[in-house]
Structure 1
Amino acid sequence: MKVLTLINCLLVQTSFVPDEYWQSVEVSHRMVFKYPLTTSSAAVGLDYYYYYYYYYYLTTYKYSKENPKTLCTSGTDIWLPRIIQALLAAFADVKFFFLVQSLEGRDVAKWTWTVVQFTFLKFNIFYGVADFYGSHPWHWYFTQGFAVVIGPHLPLFLYGCTLAFRRYKILLAAVIWTLVVYSLLPHKEFRFIYPVLPFCMVFCGISLANLKAWRRTAAFTLLLSNLVAALYTGLIHQRGTLDVMSHLQTLCNVRGISSLPQPDILFLMPCHSTPFYSHVHCPMKMKFLECPPDLGEEGYVNEADRFYDNPLHWLRTSFPYKSSLPTHLVLFDVLEKEISVFLQGNNFVRTAQIFHTHFPEGKVGGSIFIYERH
């Protein structure tokens, strides 16, 4: 179990959602290194301090601060937090296996564990489009959300419900209750109902254990359908926001060289589109379009929305003098045409094009461009 979880951890080269970094490693990194040196990203301090930040602090970043050369060159400061969290997830899988074994016996526990492993990445692909976040009708979890989260396991779940309804009606009631309660909230996301998945896997395991003749066919179908989605979403889909940070990390070498302009990077992207200092690991100047929550201020519009209302106007008013311009701009390709006049007029030259996704939509493009001012 631990081996599979670690393989999953090391396999993933893509990103899910901003909270993956901005409510985990970015907070921990800020706690230890006090980056950023400016106030442009102070909003990171408002994120929640979950229990596992303690592990990040004691392991990765504390050691990283004491051994900066080793970790900065090897990338351990990025990978070690992932590995720690993967081990915690593997521990949860082991305890879940023994729980099901105590309830249903080893055979059902074995098949329940099998279907759990098949869910490891299947739902990532559904996190790719900006329109999947935000407000949805009350029935969204019942008509779309739950079906997406459970995916190809749905037939096994339904069959398992018919087999074990009397024994586990409390588990089924918990699933339905969760869907009902979250349906009352206007803001809906797939991940909000992810905690019901282990309950559903118990029913799926019971189904496989009772299929007998069709058991191997069903298991193989699940494996194939999930593996294809896992490889695509883990290696290809939405990888640009991580790759661009690796590219920008090379600019850390410029710091301290007086003959070269010091890096000053501006992310012209939906706020929190990329990780931040946890993935460059040096205090060069960086800024992104911020979107702090509306605390009731009359006529409040966040910086990101003001920018996208009129990008060219925002750039011209924010940087009236050439001396105030950043050295680098990072943007999705869909924005390039709209601000091309600003780019050309201020001698910005595209120096990198990084693939992000085959399914661009809205403000999120298929590629990420890096522009440098010459």
Structure 2
Amino acid sequence: MAAARLRKRKCAPGGPEGERPSFAPTTPWVRLALFLAALRLLNCFLVRTSFVPDEYWQALEVAHRAAFGYGFLTWEWAQGLRSALYPLFFAGIYKGLELVGKDSVHLLIWLPRVAQALLAAVADVRLYSFAKWLDGPEVAQWVVFCQLCSWFTWYCCTRTLTNATEAALCTIALSFYPLPGTKAGSSSARYLILAAVAFIIRPTAAIFWAPLLFWHFWTETSERRLHLLLLRCLSVGLVTLGSSLVLDRIFYGKWVVVQLNFLRFNVLQGAASFYGSHPWHWYATQGLPAILGPHLPLFVLGCLRTPRRAPHRLLLALILWTVAAYSALSHKEFRFLLPVLPLCMLFCGHALHGLGKGRRKVAAGALLASNALLGLYLGLVHQRGTLDLMAHLRDLCPSSSSAEQQDPPSVMMLMPCHSTPFYSHIHCPLQMRFLQCPPDLDGRADYQDEADAFYAAPLQWLQAEFAGNSSSATPPSHLALFRGLQKEIDPFLHAHGYERRASFFHTHLPQGRVGSHIDVYERDPERS
């Protein structure tokens, strides 16, 4: 009898009817959720470096302007390429802090990241439940271990990036998806809603969900296909898209379909290549291997050893499809693959569980140590200078007693555009300027953005920019620049009485326009 029950459980991972079990909030699940939440909060506070401009300029800067009425919106917002949903969530946090008189700059910086960390923890919990249903509790433990060890997940998941939110929502939604061998029940609405929200926040989520939606529709009975299409997909799509249209109408002041604008600009026009392009094989030969890092051998082994059941084949096909679809686009970045990384951890966990006990301990220890070194170095050391710079510049914020001073401080960032955060990390109307780099939206053959024009001839650009006697031609009181540039603009610094006042370490790997340190120069009017 016992052997028969065991065989019955093995033949259907979701139970005797192939349905996924419901997970009640029992004590073990509460403990798991609290542990993962605590770990992601620790993760949040151990990431103090910058990664890409979008974590500030497409989220916190927009939120700061919406909540407090001042800030800078990049060209994407003028062109209607971004949904207001994501930054307005943070704007709500900012406004709530302002209403209770707690809108300190430190809370403005960290509360959005705490919210992102808690969302990542929810995704971790759902990944465990999904892996448990798929391969059992022992494999699920190793899947979550691999997920928590992943250096790239550690590095990105608590940042205010739409990619991080897209990845978390896709993982949560996938745990409700009716994989082959299950029955499509009430979970269909949940996964469709989460997938739709992910699409509104970042339209590229359609790449991830298109084959899954097609598979769900194809595997349904003919009687239920119409029900799925009309009462599930269509209703969820209309509600979420309609809500997005209304929200963007309020934000932009006009009707804007940002998803169509995003598709036209990035795919049909290919204008995203202005920010860099890579060969078609980059994701397969560099992108995916790099973000997997020490997990790569386990991932390959897991793909070879994973049971040839329909759910596993579908998940592997989903990884391959997503990588292939992104490979067709000219502009490529590591963070674009974040949604498939939890799927890769399913295969890594399966491979790790399949090793012998002794080999598993060695592999797990090596995995933890190597990823910890990468995660801690990149999260605490590499590219931290830009954030340290903003903490220093906060001291320039005028106090209420000095608000009427005749010569208020001003700052110019002589750095690659969007190198630093902006008002979200200052939270005062300090005069600041940076070198801008919008793409050529008019198709001019001789187009050159402000940053390129500056770096082509830094000294001549500064002399031309601040020539004359008008107030607009007065050099700023402070300059921030990467070390190495001062050699080229030294005559300008000397002529206007600039002296170096502070220096911040940025990276051990300077390259191109980015130096190892960031130097802050202050102008002495008496010496100019």
TM-score, normalization by structure 1: 0.91
Counterpart pick for 1:56 among 73, 90, 102: 90
**Once the 2 structures are TM-superposed, how far is the Cα of residue 98 of structure 1 from its aligned partner?**
0.7
**Residue 130 of structure 1 aligns with which residue?**
none
**Deviates most, 170-179 or 82-91:** 170-179
Give the counterpart letter for 1:19 in structure 2: D
Distance 1:304 1:256 in 2: 36
**Residue 9 of structure 1 aligns with which residue?**
44
Q: Is the 8 A contact 1:255 1:263 kept in 2?
A: no
Counterpart pick for 2:68 among 6, 18, 33: 33
Distance 1:216 1:31 in 2: 51
Give the counterpart letter for 2:386 in structure 1: T
Identity of aligned residues (%): 49
Report the count of equivalent residues: 361
Determine whether 1:276 maps to 2:422.
yes
Q: Deviations over 1:112-157 (max 9, x none)?
A: 00000001447859xxxxxxx7222222112111110111111111
**Residue 139 of structure 1 aligns with which residue?**
281
**Residue 366 of structure 2 aligns with which residue?**
221
Counterpart pick for 1:162 among 276, 293, 304: 304
Determine whether 1:196 maps to 2:340.
yes
Distance 1:18 1:195 in 2: 19
Q: Is the 8 A contact 1:255 1:284 kept in 2?
A: no
**Once the 2 structures are TM-superposed, how far is the Cα of residue 55 of structure 1 from its aligned partner?**
2.7
Q: Is the 8 A contact 1:121 1:233 kept in 2?
A: no
Distance 1:172 1:344 in 2: 61
Distance 2:460 2:297 in 1: 53
Give structure 1 stretches of 5+ with no counterpart: 126-132
Distance 1:55 1:138 in 2: 35
Q: What is the DSSP-based 3-state SS (H/G/I as helix, E as strand, rest coil) of the residue aligned with 1:339?
A: helix
Q: What is the DSSP-based 3-state SS (H/G/I as helix, E as strand, rest coil) of the residue aligned with 1:71?
A: coil
**Deviates most, 49-58 or 20-29:** 49-58
- Say if 1:15 and 1:45 are closer, same or farther in 2 by CA, change over 3 A: same
**Residue 118 of structure 1 aligns with which residue?**
149
**Deviates most, 110-119 or 313-322:** 313-322
- Say if 1:256 and 1:289 are closer, same or farther in 2 by CA, change over 3 A: farther
- Say if 1:234 and 1:260 are closer, same or farther in 2 by CA, change over 3 A: farther
Distance 2:405 2:286 in 1: 57
**Residue 317 of structure 2 aligns with which residue?**
173
Q: Is the 8 A contact 1:113 1:205 kept in 2?
A: yes
Q: Is the 8 A contact 1:123 1:149 kept in 2?
A: no
**Residue 413 of structure 2 aligns with which residue?**
267
**Residue 238 of structure 1 aligns with which residue?**
383
**Residue 310 of structure 1 aligns with which residue?**
457
- Say if 1:314 and 1:48 are closer, same or farther in 2 by CA, change over 3 A: same
Distance 2:151 2:100 in 1: 34
Q: What is the DSSP-based 3-state SS (H/G/I as helix, E as strand, rest coil) of the residue aligned with 1:326?
A: coil
Determine whether 1:329 maps to 2:509.
no
Distance 2:75 2:400 in 1: 25
- Say if 1:314 and 1:240 are closer, same or farther in 2 by CA, change over 3 A: same
- Say if 1:92 and 1:52 are closer, same or farther in 2 by CA, change over 3 A: farther
Distance 2:418 2:464 in 1: 23
Q: Is the 8 A contact 2:44 2:114 kept in 1?
A: yes
Q: Deviations over 1:241-275 (max 9, x none)?
A: 00000000011145751456201111111000000
Q: What is the DSSP-based 3-state SS (H/G/I as helix, E as strand, rest coil) of the residue aligned with 2:504?
A: strand
TM-score, normalization by structure 2: 0.65
Counterpart pick for 2:119 among 75, 81, 88: 88
**Residue 149 of structure 1 aligns with which residue?**
291
Q: Deviations over 1:43-102 (max 9, x none)?
A: 47446235432331222x10233355x4326x1111111101111111111111111111
Distance 2:392 2:381 in 1: 17
**Residue 343 of structure 1 aligns with which residue?**
493
Aligned positions of 1:63-78 closer than 5 A = 63-68=96-101, 70-72=102-104, 75-78=106-109
Distance 2:322 2:298 in 1: 20
**Residue 371 of structure 1 aligns with which residue?**
521
Counterpart pick for 2:139 among 108, 114, 118: 108
**Residue 210 of structure 2 aligns with which residue?**
none
Distance 1:123 1:83 in 2: 14
**Once the 2 structures are TM-superposed, how far is the Cα of residue 343 of structure 1 from its aligned partner?**
0.6
Distance 2:378 2:284 in 1: 24
Distance 2:116 2:109 in 1: 12
- Say if 1:222 and 1:270 are closer, same or farther in 2 by CA, change over 3 A: same
Q: Is the 8 A contact 1:160 1:203 kept in 2?
A: yes
Distance 2:74 2:315 in 1: 42
Distance 1:123 1:80 in 2: 18
- Say if 1:193 and 1:259 are closer, same or farther in 2 by CA, change over 3 A: closer
**Residue 129 of structure 1 aligns with which residue?**
none
Give the counterpart letter for 2:481 in structure 1: L
Q: What is the DSSP-based 3-state SS (H/G/I as helix, E as strand, rest coil) of the residue aligned with 1:369?
A: strand
Give structure 2 stretches of 5+ with no counterpart: 1-35, 157-274
Aligned positions of 1:289-300 closer than 5 A = 289-298=435-444, 299-300=446-447
Give the counterpart letter for 1:333 in structure 2: R
Q: Is the 8 A contact 2:46 2:379 kept in 1?
A: yes
Distance 2:100 2:74 in 1: 26
Q: What is the DSSP-based 3-state SS (H/G/I as helix, E as strand, rest coil) of the residue aligned with 1:370?
A: strand
